[in-house]
Structure 1
Amino acid sequence: MLDTATTALLRAVLDEVCESISQREIGARTHVASKILEAATRGEVSPEALKQVGRDALSHAPTLWR
């Protein structure tokens, strides 16, 4: 289980990475969140590294337009 500070960091990173996509893009947001969470559970807690993981995930996220 992640501590409160790490959880807050993950939320902030997710919000920043996904700021350009609609809240209704649940599939894309879920994909990005899962990749960020995977990185954090492996021990990655650097905000910049987590943002990069999120950006990479967003570029491969499922969308309604594909």
Structure 2
Amino acid sequence: MFDPATTALLRAVLEEVCEEISRSETGARTRVASRILEAAAKGDVAPESLKQVGREALHDAPTMCR
């Protein structure tokens, strides 16, 4: 469990990384959130580092082609 300040940071990073992703893109957002949480759980709570982790997760996320 994270303290309120860290939780707020994680949410802010998620929103910034996913600002151009629709809220209906739950798969991509979930992937980004998961990776950010994993990094934070390992002690990495530097905002820029978390943003990079999130960007990498977003870049690696599978996309639907129709």
TM-score band, normalised by shorter chain = over 0.9
Normalized against structure 2, the TM-score is what? 0.94
Normalized against structure 1, the TM-score is what? 0.94
* CA RMSD across the alignment: 1.2
- Report how many aligned residue pairs link the two structures: 66
Matches within 5 A, 1:1-66: 1-65=1-65
Letter in 2 for 1:17: V
CA contact (8 A) 1:25 1:63 kept: no
- Unmatched runs of 5 consecutive residues or more in structure 1: none
Higher RCO (C-alpha under 8 Å, 6+ residues apart): 1
Distance in 1 (CA, whole Å) between partners of 2:8 and 2:63 is 26
**Structure 1 stretch 2-11 or stretch 55-64: which is displaced more?**
55-64
The 4+ residue runs of structure 1 with deviation greater than 6 A are: none
Identity of matched residues, %? 71
Per the TM alignment, residue 61 of structure 1 is displaced from its structure 2 partner at its CA by 1.4
Distance in 1 (CA, whole Å) between partners of 2:51 and 2:5 is 16
Distance in 1 (CA, whole Å) between partners of 2:33 and 2:40 is 11
